[in-house]
Amino acid sequence: MRHYRRRFHPWEKRHFQHLLAESRTAPPRLVCRLGSHELWARGEGMYLIDAIPDDAPPLVREGIARRRIVDLEGACPCGASLVVEPGGNGVLHLSCTHESDCPAGNDILIPAYMNWQRR
Ligand SMILES: [Zn+2]
């Protein structure tokens, strides 16, 4: 599960989903690299996503690569989709619940990332 938070009015959910869907009809284009992130444009949408560290082990690279696919395409190769849900107090939640064996899931990616960082 991965959560993003932003102040939103509940009625904006449909509008936001429409903008996301419309944005994804255009091909993704890399705008620039910003430290450990990359800024991508797709139609009217701008996406700030994690860059894949060159020196990361294969499992970490695969997990981050899958999360990039979710961010840009809205779904993971494991079958999980990005879900937009209005939370309380006008906060919009974007979440993606990966399969238990997916390297992009928190249960696999977080320990793999921590092991790599401890070296
Ligand atoms: Zn997945």
Q: Could you tell me the two tokens for 13?
A: 């959910």
Q: Is 106 left (phi over 0), alpha (psi -120 to 50) or beta?
A: alpha
Residue 90 has pLDDT above 80, yes or no: no
Tell how far the Cα of 97 is from the centroid of ligand 1, in angstroms.
Answer: 7
Strand-strand pairing, 45-50 and 4-7: unpaired
Residue with the larger pLDDT of the pair 65 and 1:
65
E-only strand ranges, the chain: 4-7, 29-34, 37-42, 45-50, 83-86, 91-95
Lowest-confidence pick of 5-14, 55-64, 78-87 = 5-14
Mean of the per-residue pLDDT values of the chain: 85
| Alpha carbon distance 116, 15 (integer Å) | 40
Tell how far the Cα of 23 is from the centroid of ligand 1, in angstroms.
Answer: 22
Tell how far the Cα of 79 is from the centroid of ligand 1, in angstroms.
Answer: 6
- Model pLDDT for residues 33-67, shown as the tens digit of each residue: 999 999 999 887 888 899 999 999 999 999 999 99
